[in-house]
Each structure stands twice: as C-alpha cells, then as structure tokens.
Amino acid sequence: MYLSRNLLSGKRKYLFALILLSFMAVICVVLSITDSDNFDIARREVLLRRIGHEILLQSGDSTSRVLPVKKIAENEYQIRFENELTFQTDSLVNTTQRLLAKDPFAHDYVVNVLNCGNSSVAYGYAISKNKKDDIVACLGRRQPVACYMINIKFKPNGITTARNKYLLGGLSFLAFVGFIFFRWIKSRRALAKDESNKIFTFGSVLFDVQKRQLLINKKNIDLTGTETRLLLILALSPNETIERSRLQKEIWEDEGVIVGRSLDMFISKLRKKLEPDPNINIVVIRSKGYKLEVSS
C-alpha cells in the first residue's frame, strides 16, 4: 500500500495534468468556434443592411439611410430606417430569401415588419429549409407609407449550436473527471488518516504513528516526520522488500527534490533507534530496496 503526503504527487499529478489539458482543449475549441461565429455574425449583419438598402430602393428612396442593424436577442436582429417607407410584400419576401441564401446558417427564420409607434405587426412570414413548411401570406399587396422596423429571428443552428454542444460536452466531461478525481482524493485522505492513527507492534517495539514515537523496553524514542513516514511504509509490509524507488517517490518527490543519499541516511537513523530490539532490523536487499525484518 502506497503512502503519499501530498495529494498531487505521483499518479495524482498525471490525473491533474489530464484534467488541465482537457480543460485547455475545451477552451481552445470553444474559442476557435467563437472566432468563426463572430465572423459569421458580422457577415450576417452586412446582409441584413443590404436587405434594408434594397427595400428602400424598391420604395423609391435612394437617399435616406438604413440605420445600424440592432441585435435585440440571441439570433434576432432588427433593421431600422431613417425615414418612412412603403413596401410590396412579395418583393420583401423575395429580397430576404435571395440575400439570406448567402448566409450558410440562415435556413429557418421568421420575419416580422413592425409599426414603429406601437410595435404591432404590419406583416410577417416564416421561411424554412423545407420549402413546403414556408408560411407566406398576403402576397402582391403594397403597404402604406409609414415608419417600419423589420425583425428577423433565426432558428439557432450551425456555429452557435456547435459551440454550445462542445462547451456543454466538454464541461460535462471535466465535471465527470473532476468527480472521480476528488472521490479518489477523499478516499486517499481517509486512508492516510486511518494509517496515521495506527499503532504497530513488531517484536518488543510499539510504533505510534500519530505521536511519532517508538516504545522499546518501556523507553520512548521520538521520530522525525520523515522517519515516521519511512517506517510506516516499511511497517505496513513487514518482511517484504520495498523498492528503493518507491521509498524515494513516497517520501521525497513531493518536496520537488530526490537525493539518493537522503534515503540511506534516514535508514541508518532508523536502524540506530531500533537497535534496542535485536529481533528488529532494516536490511538492504541489494539492487532492490529495503525490508523491515522481524524475527520471531
């Protein structure tokens, strides 16, 4: 059983790196889609201004301005005019269809012509990707001269939908990985806490992990934090070889520096403190590691 003092060491560091890389990947995808989305929105607004321009020309007005296109909601825009105008319903339908055909994501939309004074609908129609689903009425009628606003609402699709799906899917994945990660951390914390409360007995030695003490022949011997962690790993697997690399990883990797001689020094200190009991010894297993040898 491995013991780790830092929750972001070893395998946990790789898991944390995976979460971080996944998060960065999701952000990069969303940002790249957002850039494309911004371009398509700008292009759509140019097409909407062109619609306003042609409506004015059809009304016989070649001098007044089309006011800046206003985005009034997500996927909904408003075309406004400087002066009053008149329009032919079928010309309006044909103009919007012809120009919005240049927008690759404008397959389904609803057009409402509003009176400026009370925002009542003077004329409206709906265009669908499937022509049979189009809703167009009152063609061939000319509307009286008045102040009008044209609202065009597009069905969400294309870039916006893709961005939302990537974002939602990416966040769901990160939430799942994060849940697994923190569940694992919680279990490791509980395990570490449980181990730190243990009292080990081998030979005549009583090892109190929490107090960092050895009791040998009724004599208390204090241990340092590093000595305690090192002896705990060995005590959890008595008479079993513990690899040197594992001991170094568990004890020193969290501090950012692994010094080969440090392990030998602490093993030597532990041996000296365990000397009062001749049945307990930490032996070297050549080219492998160390073993807490407990003689019966």
- pLDDT tens, the chain, 296 aa long: 434 444 344 455 555 666 666 666 656 555 554 555 677 778 888 999 999 999 999 999 999 999 999 999 888 999 999 999 999 999 999 999 999 988 887 889 999 999 998 999 999 999 998 888 899 988 888 999 999 999 999 988 655 555 555 556 666 666 666 666 666 555 455 445 555 567 888 888 899 988 899 998 889 999 998 898 899 999 888 899 999 888 888 877 655 455 556 888 999 999 999 999 888 999 999 889 999 998 86
Q: In whole angstroms, what is the distance from residue 45 CA to residue 285 CA?
A: 76
Residues of the chain with CATH 1.10.10.10: 197-294
Q: Output the CA torsion 72→156→103→167 (10° steps).
A: 100
Instruction: Tell me the C-alpha to C-alpha distance, in Å, between residue 45 and each of 75, 155, 254.
Output: 11, 16, 55
pTM over cut 0.85:
no
Burial 22-37 (b: 16+ CB within 10 A, else e): ebeebeebbeebeeeb
CATH number, domain 197-294: 1.10.10.10
Residue 110's nearest CA partner among 73, 143, 144 is 73
At 187 the three-state DSSP class reads helix
